[in-house]
Chains A and B, each alone.
Chain A
Amino acid sequence: MNDTADADNDADNDADNDPDNDGKKTGPARLEIRDLVVSFGGLHAVDRVSASVEPGTIVGLIGPNGSGKTTLLDAVSGIVAPTEGSILLDGDDLGDYLPEERSALGIVRSFQDCRLYPELSVQDTLLLYEDATRQVSVLSTTLQLPWARRTERDKRRAVDRVIASFGLERFRHHLTGHLSTGTRRVVDLASIVLAGPRLLLLDEPTAGIAQREAEAFIPLLQRLQEVTTSTILLVEHDVPLVFELCSTVIVMQTGTVVVSGSPDVVRQDPLALAAYLGASDAALNVTGPTRRT
């Protein structure tokens, strides 16, 4: 009646009830970044960065403030357009894909500020991720066609499961804007599980969380990767956490990659130490053991 753009979804939506069954690729994805340049005006926020993230690994991206880590994630998720270079997912150039199209390919992004949607309830926030994979047109919603009702019911069931397993039942009807940062992060993680990523981009998931809670993130993220069977690219300031969790660590400074390799290699690298810590490796070892008690 009024949403022609959505109309083409009506026909094939019956088949969409099983999200794994519509020809989409499953399993962890391989990300490759080739000579990526992102400039704002004359400033190269990301300057000729090449990196590859192997399927099923957790790769950490560290570096001082303003080194271009978040911009790199923005480029991968399509929020900023690269000036030069290319980003490939399983060998396909992401090129002009819009953020929402990349999301359909299985790229899921969490944000540093974790603002989510202040005026949506927790339940609605989670349902949103179901909406993205199983779209129902306005027309069939308005007319309450049988499959529209069924889809909404299925969505709610999926969300109910996640709400229960994350212990969010108490917050179901709370607006996300009224939640504490920690709880909002949990909602964010719950939504990641719902989104079923193949490549997960996490931007400082421990920001704004107390140290003790941050420790819980190591098993949590490992578990998250197993559950969602995804590749994870993680931007994080908590260096010990990155070294503990990641199989590969990339160190960035002023838009370029200083060094990348296994945590052991990076830990020994003088350039990395200079770039990130600006001090001796003593700093690494000081924070390391204390937080793993």
Chain B
Amino acid sequence: MIAVSLPSSVIIEGAILGLNYGLLAVGLVLIYRTNRVINFAQGQLGVVAAVFMVKLYYDFGINYWAALVAALAVAAGAGALSELVLRRLFNRPRVMVMVATIGLSQVLYLLTLLPFIRPKQLFRAFPVPVDWSFRIGTFIFPPGEVITLIAAPIVALGLAAFIRFSPWGLAMRASAENSESARLSGVWVRRTSTVAWTLAGALSAFTAILASPSQTSTLTEVLSPGLLLLALLAALIGGMISLPVAFAAGIGVGIIQDLLQWNITNSAAVELVLFLLLQLALIVRAASLQKGTRTAERTSWTTGTLAFRQTGQGLRKRVGTSGVVLTVVVAALLPLVLSVDRTFLMSQICIYAVIALSLTVLTGWAGQVSLGQFGLVAVGADITAHLGTGVPLLALLLLAGVATAVVSVLVGLTALRIRGLYLAVSTLGFALFMQTSVLATSCWNVPILHRQICSGLPDPESTLISRPSLFGLGLTSERAFAWFSLAVLIVSILMVRLWRDRGIARRLISVRDNEVAAGSAGIPVIRTKLMAFALSGFIAGYAGVCLAFATERFSTDTFDPTFSLLVVSMVVIGGLDSIPGAVLGALYLVGLPAIFGSTLSIQILTSGLGLMAFILYLPGGMAQVLHQLGDLATAWVEHLRGRGRPGRDTGPDPSPEQVTEAEPGAVAEVGS
């Protein structure tokens, strides 16, 4: 069945592709070495420059080389500027910085839409300085690819020489290992970091400019998670440290990918092989990767966001409860007054909030960073596509939840070996694999058993399902479905609250905060970690069922990994470990864009810029704002009461004042 062939033209084609991955990987390693951050904006930094170069070349008629220099300068400047913005985050949890770079990449995308950067005509060939080309067999390599073949190694070598022979290279490594020590020994940590980002920006511009000629339109080149993942794979093979290995690995990944595509017609199988390769690289590399970063990962979770979780006593609590009751009543009445479109939107917000809750459990409490939550949602939706209305709705919800929990635990098994940002890469790979491989293939032929396994969507392009009924009531109308979604959200919130208050959350947090101590205290560490994945998967699974029924018609694109990134953004801006935060995050990121239309200003506000503003200025997220609003409302009510009945004392609870200090000697009284 498989006759492997290795034509040299395919290998060279793959190498050219791989050179781009390699340059991208080098940029990722550069930033990682300096700031211990996976820079999701690495590709987008350069795309802005490439688009700007087209503008200069065609609209202003500037000579190629001058335009190139200008574009590189823009990208380097963008890199330095990004560093200035992100700088204040560098001692915050890594996941937050990572989400901030996701926001940054969205902001950079929006920049390409601005009139002074966006070229007048979009579909013109990307400028190339020379017209060299050559052919192998029937395969012609156009000038753009020839330039890549020549220029990419030169750029990489130049960068390697700079890192190797200038003092900056050592300074970058020193500041990554221990930024405080590095500062004390005279390294200008901040300036070093700025230099790294400037270089990364210029490098990214090179990447985009070299890669662009083979694309038809520059603007379509929003860096896909798939491309980034391949670059990450190369960077990981280089241990996130070695620039030359990362570059070479990038070329290797490109060649492997092209050869696979040449030999295997089934693209899903190619994705499967690449996914396995990624997992292998992660697991093999895990030990060496975590040696240096262990302390960084450990301290990175102390966010202080839990500090305001404890709602106070008496009046404050009553104000909180009334707020919740009021919200629920209003939400329940909304479908009666909203238009059909808006009612559908309400269902969507509710379902996204449930998905965000699943991440609150996994990332907020257990500290496992997952960028693949939509991969799990896809499992639930896939089960729905197969079983549809054949199974009673409640049974289907439970079944999908349990099945997804099992899948989630399997994904979580890698988390026993790898953690933090590497887990993020692994789960992103999982989400992509679910979309492009599992869902996209209706039926697999299993080679040895000679049987078919039909696990994918029945029709990957457009699967149509009809909505079910619950207790004999049809959910076909948008209004009924909105109520159903709201009910699912409320039940989910109640369940997660139980987990938070009755002993589940404290176990997850203990393992996150201090794994060694938790183990010694008798908390089964491995089981607790997997439990977090199971709980999160359970919620994501039944949310998948709801999402499938809500959209009614869906394709593999419904489960694009970018939605996973969206959910992570929700949880981060809502408040990483807060239950209301998950709901607020969904409301903000799904609700606002839909309600106010997709004008540019709203896009900027809701996507990248809003995201970054939240991370920069409100570390506790929207939950923090909500809590402060609650405090204000309480003060206001107290004020009103005080005016009405002046004699009434609503002062603080006196009991905390009775005990002045914890005395070690007090143990002497223990014993009964």
In the bound complex, CA of A128 to CA of B512 (Å): 13
B520/A115 in contact, CB under 8 A: no
Q: Is the CB of B662 within 8 A of A166?
A: yes
- Bitwise, A17-57 to B at CB < 8 A (1) or not (0) is 00000000000000000000000000000000000000000
CA distance A185 to B664 in the complex (A): 8
Choice from A99, A124, A167, A216 contacting B506 with Cβ under 8 Å? A124
Contact B522 A2 (CB under 8 A): no
Does the CB pair A227–B670 fall under 8 Å? yes
B428 within 8 A of A: no
- B301 to A119, Cβ gap below 8 A? yes
Closest to B405 in A: A2
Which segment, of B71-79, B380-388, B497-505, B607-615, faces chain A? B497-505
Q: Across the two chains, which residue of chain B brings its CB closest to A98? A: B519
**CB <8 Å contact, B662 and A171:** yes
| Contact (A142, B667) CB under 8 Å given A6-B531, A115-B514 | no
The interface residues of chain B lying within 8 Å CB-to-CB of A104 are 522
Q: A5-B530, A121-B310, A141-B498 are in contact. Are A99 and B667 (CB under 8 A)?
A: no
**B546 located at the interface, meaning its Cβ lies under 8 Å from any Cβ of chain A in the complex:** no
Cβ of A152 to closest chain B Cβ, rounded Å: 6
Stretch at the interface among B369-377, B635-643, B653-661: B653-661
With A183-B662, A195-B521 known to touch, is A144 a contact of B307 (CB < 8 Å)?
no
Q: Taking the complex as formed, is A175 at the interface, i.e. its CB lies under 8 A from any CB of chain B?
A: yes
Query: Given the complex, which residues of A lie within 8 Å of B197, measured CB to CB?
Result: none
Whether the Cβ atoms of B509 and A119 lie closer than 8 Å is: yes
Which of A100, A102, A103, A119 lies in contact with B302, CB distance below 8 A? A119
- Chain A residue with minimal CB distance to B665? A216
Query: What is the predominant secondary structure among interface residues of chain A facing chain B?
Result: helix
The smallest beta-carbon distance between B617 and chain A, in angstroms, is 21
Which residues of chain B are within 8 angstroms of A111 by Cβ–Cβ distance? 516-517, 520
CA separation between A109 and B521, bound complex, in Å? 7
Are A224 and B504 touching (Cβ within 8 A)?
no
Report whether A136 and B503 are in contact in the complex, using a CB–CB cutoff of 8 Å: yes
Q: Provide the bound-state CA to CA distance between A213 and B660, in Å.
A: 16
Chain B residues near A64: list those with CB within 8 A: none
Q: Please, which residues of chain B bring their CB within 8 A of the CB of A226? A: 671
Residues of B within 8 A of A223 (CB): 667-668, 670
Q: Are B659 and A167 in contact (CB under 8 A)?
A: yes
Given A116-B517, A119-B301, A169-B658, A132–B664 Cβ distance below 8 Å? Answer: no
A151-203 contacts to B (CB < 8 Å): 152, 155, 162, 165-171, 173, 175, 177-178, 182-183, 185-186, 189-191, 193, 195
**Nearest-Cβ distance from residue B524 to partner chain A, whole angstroms:** 5
Among residues of A, the one whose C-beta sits closest to the C-beta of B537 is A2
Residues of B within 8 A of A167 (CB): 659, 661-663, 666
Among residues of A, the one whose C-beta sits closest to the C-beta of B367 is A119
Residue on A nearest B539 in the bound complex, by CB? A2
Tell whether, in the assembled complex, residue B521 and residue A103 are in contact, meaning their CB atoms are under 8 Å apart: yes
CB under 8 Å from chain A, chain B span 474-522: 495, 498-499, 502-504, 506-507, 509-510, 512-514, 516-522
Taking a contact as CB atoms under 8 Å apart, the answer to whether A120 and B506 are in contact is: yes
Q: Let me know if A129 is at the binding interface, CB within 8 A.
A: yes
**Chain B proximity of A190: nearest CB distance (Å):** 8
Distance between Cα atoms of A219 and B667 in the complex (Å): 10
Tell me how far the C-beta of A186 lies from the nearest C-beta in chain B, rounded to whole angstroms.
Answer: 5
CA distance in complex: A226, B303 (Å):
39
The answer to whether A127 has its CB under 8 Å from any CB of chain B is yes
> B669 within 8 Å of A by Cβ?
yes
Residue of A nearest to B302 (CB): A118
Indicate whether B27 reaches chain A with its CB closer than 8 angstroms: no
Asked whether, in the complex, the Cβ of A193 is within 8 Å of the Cβ of B503, the reply is: no
Q: Verify if A3 is at the interface (C-beta below 8 Å from B).
A: yes
Contact call A1/B401, Cβ cutoff below 8 A? yes
Contacts of A193 on B, CB cut-off 8 Å?
667, 670
Chain A residue at minimal CB-CB distance from B534: A2
In the assembled complex, 23 residue pairs joining A and B whose CB atoms fall closer than 8 Å, in A order, are A1-B538, A2-B402, A2-B534, A2-B537, A3-B534, A3-B535, A5-B530, A5-B531, A99-B516, A100-B519, A118-B302, A119-B303, A124-B509, A128-B521, A128-B523, A132-B523, A138-B499, A142-B499, A165-B667, A165-B670, A169-B656, A219-B668, A224-B667
**7 shortest A-B CB distances, which residue pairs?**
A132-B522, A103-B522, A99-B519, A117-B513, A124-B506, A2-B405, A109-B520
- Seen from chain A, the residues whose Cβ lies within 8 Å of a Cβ on chain B are 1-3, 5-6, 77-79, 98-100, 102-104, 108-109, 111, 115-121, 124-125, 127-129, 131-133, 136, 138, 141-142, 144, 148, 152, 155, 162, 165-171, 173, 175, 177-178, 182-183, 185-186, 189-191, 193, 195, 213, 216-217, 219-220, 223-224, 226-227
